[in-house]
Structure 1
């Protein structure tokens, strides 16, 4: 086994795990990973639905999303500095609040990330159908799943290279769209014809429940910023790097989302005519013509179905790996295996690849979005509460500065996320709480009646 650096050894002492994964990632790598996971062109997926549900105030919806996520991102930063270990919310809630609640947080985020690769492949399949309607759906799904699984098994370095390429392509397309939209609106006088605050606020139309419902759709694009923390055990100096990368990547992606939503709203103010699935692409074609339209679809297919799915699969495989080495999942012995050559959680990655194919084939897009949002929002609320529990109550850090950092900030994050959480429909709650109930039963069995905790937590 490789020699463990002094920084890695310190991390081992604090987390209770032996260092098995290879440390190669820098802050730049993590920010790029976060951007790719959240997907700079994510408005292509949900902009139209968000605009329709908010009476055209899509920019306001994304602004609410930024506010909601920034406080939660700060909470992730605090916990990643305290516990630089793979596992994201599972590890943080487990250590900050309670091992058994931590398991439920992990189980919930598994629901989130387990279905995301299949969701992304389904989006790519939908868009590819717009230009190649005769392409067999099953072939697309299997090929995309195979590509991302092989790259992830080979190692995080290859994943990092792929992320860089796809990020550059997406940023170039966004720049082209914004330039075309500015010309379309401000020079040619089309769309709304000039500057307007309508995408942010329209008097008499702002309703809290309406914004909550629309925001619950738009936050799909923000889900994934926490995936950076799943790479803690593959990061050089994770205590310093991981948390900063989480916050920075979220701020950057938020500005990209809001800029695209604002210009799309100015270019096509009549939200009632938007197609819920392809509406954003229709706006792209309206302002930039067929070349930009097909370029967006082409890059979107590859960026979502490969780059974005690649990053998400990398994150969930590490969560599955972490929960399995704690022996908290069925087949933990198999899923916790690390590849002897590539030093990656190969078995967990292969498992996610197979599940992604099945999900993309048998589960509808609407149901996938529903599961992802419930899992993410519920996990984020628990994460914010774990900051309060660990720092304010357990460590008793209660001065003015600490009260602001460890009580007020995470409670604001919790409150805004709970507001968005309230916008889900009844079916989402039924499926979500059913998943939680299954997790509660599994946790009860694995912990022998909630009496045992993972060995790594015995001395913490």
Structure 2
């Protein structure tokens, strides 16, 4: 009997790092600036620094679990093998909220951006074009997706660096704080830890790229070594980009009341710092941000669906299928492409509400898995082990618990309804379909404990 075609290991370390950065959408720092500046009293870079410090503990937990289970399912696979297959399914089902809706969000943003520039063209045309673009690229080999994403991410980085250079010029001319180097964006007499934590609760979701990296484990060369490195690098590089951009923005605009719309200040920021020409360049970078994020978020969700299909939670012939030539789960790509077209009927607020719940579920269980696997199952209990496998994930889980307390009621309600639907589906599989979804796959093995 022929062995089923599997995902191909072709991605190197730099590929998955850039994919993670594309998922994070570096240009998003300008979209949230006005909101976070108001919440933190003008200390957005400090809020990013605190968020990075806190999120690194969860990123470290992902790295620890990748070494044990180098599988495509990310939090789903870790929970499935560490706690129980049923718990793994529910975690994966919840995480789908994050992955399913991010392509839609990026499609909506693309439609909004381009409709503003070309008001005579219906928004639906841009949304359909966006979905077709990311779907077709994802049907091809993963390295093609990675190459296109690399170009889009590098363009964003260049624009951020150009923004920093223009900001330095403006500060030297006396704009804003009038100082190129100032501690005020990071620290001031009015700095408040509670306010920073509120800002961190908003910015936490800007770091989701490291989670996406873990879904590509089965397509990464030497994943036990490269994937954990990529997870930390994505978090660190993303944090540096966010802090750099927010530092200069905060220095130029210490008072957000100058903006007509502080919740959508990016266009005003670009116009002020570089005029109409730079505003157009800024818009192009914003579009490349939505394209990159939409492209790799579709890649990530198809790999999670592949893992769940391979394990018989979803019809295996469809969701567990990999194209023999392209090495991609083509049916999953087409399904998600079609689902992404629902962006035509969704609004941005509703779509955004879905992603937060799933991400927090995944973060919570990955930290929990580290403790259960290393401390309780493997009984690694030296002083150093307790720091690595108990204290570190507890700190990560503690920060995630704080974010849970700030999750808006709309997101919580939608997330609980989605989870309840997943639980009902699981009960159906077990009791009615009699599908053996609780059995471990024979090729599940621990690479390194």
TM-score interval for Structure 1 and Structure 2 normalised by the shorter chain? over 0.9
**1:279-290 mapped onto 2 (5 Å cutoff):** 279-290=265-276
Alignment partner, residue 176 of structure 1: 162
Shift of 1:362: 2.0
* SS class of match (1:363): coil
Distance in 2 separating the partners of 1:121 and 1:183: 35
Pick from 349, 353, 356 the counterpart of residue 333 of structure 2: 349
Distance in 2 separating the partners of 1:32 and 1:196: 31
Alignment partner, residue 30 of structure 1: 16
Residues 57-79 of structure 1: CA deviation (Å, up to 9, x unaligned): 21122122212221111111111
Residues 158-187 of structure 1: CA deviation (Å, up to 9, x unaligned): 1021022112211110110001111111x1
Greater shift, 443-452 or 161-170, is seen at 443-452
Is 1:361 the counterpart of 2:344? The answer is yes
Residues 234-253 of structure 1: CA deviation (Å, up to 9, x unaligned): 11111111111111111011
Pick from 251, 266, 270 the counterpart of residue 251 of structure 2: 266
TM-score by length of structure 1 reads: 0.90
Distance in 2 separating the partners of 1:125 and 1:145: 11
Is 1:95 the counterpart of 2:81? The answer is yes
Alignment partner, residue 414 of structure 1: 397
Alignment partner, residue 230 of structure 2: 245
Distance in 2 separating the partners of 1:21 and 1:118: 25
Is 1:428 the counterpart of 2:414? The answer is no
Query: Any stretches of 5+ residues in structure 1 without a counterpart?
Result: 4-17
Alignment partner, residue 116 of structure 2: 130
Residues 87-109 of structure 1: CA deviation (Å, up to 9, x unaligned): 11111121122222211110111
Is 1:440 the counterpart of 2:423? The answer is yes
Distance in 1 separating the partners of 2:318 and 2:147: 28
Cα contact 2:107–2:130 (8 A) shared by 1: yes
Query: Any stretches of 5+ residues in structure 2 without a counterpart?
Result: none
Is 1:334 the counterpart of 2:318? The answer is yes
Cα contact 2:61–2:370 (8 A) shared by 1: yes
- The number of equivalent residue pairs is 441
Distance in 2 separating the partners of 1:216 and 1:369: 15
Greater shift, 76-85 or 369-378, is seen at 369-378
Cα contact 1:212–1:421 (8 A) shared by 2: no
Does the C-alpha gap of structure 1 residues 76 and 163 become closer, same or farther in structure 2, counting only changes over 3 Å? Answer: same
Cα contact 2:107–2:127 (8 A) shared by 1: yes
Alignment partner, residue 301 of structure 2: 316
Distance in 1 separating the partners of 2:372 and 2:110: 41
Alignment partner, residue 50 of structure 1: 36
Distance in 1 separating the partners of 2:301 and 2:444: 26
Cα contact 1:264–1:280 (8 A) shared by 2: no
Cα contact 1:55–1:271 (8 A) shared by 2: no
Residues 200-258 of structure 1: CA deviation (Å, up to 9, x unaligned): 344446252x4444323222321121111111111111111111111111101101001
Cα contact 2:111–2:124 (8 A) shared by 1: no
Does the C-alpha gap of structure 1 residues 234 and 265 become closer, same or farther in structure 2, counting only changes over 3 Å? Answer: same
Cα contact 2:72–2:215 (8 A) shared by 1: yes
Cα contact 2:5–2:327 (8 A) shared by 1: no
Shift of 1:445: 2.4
Residues 254-274 of structure 1: CA deviation (Å, up to 9, x unaligned): 010011111101111112343
Distance in 2 separating the partners of 1:115 and 1:128: 20
Cα contact 1:22–1:234 (8 A) shared by 2: yes
Distance in 1 separating the partners of 2:224 and 2:357: 29
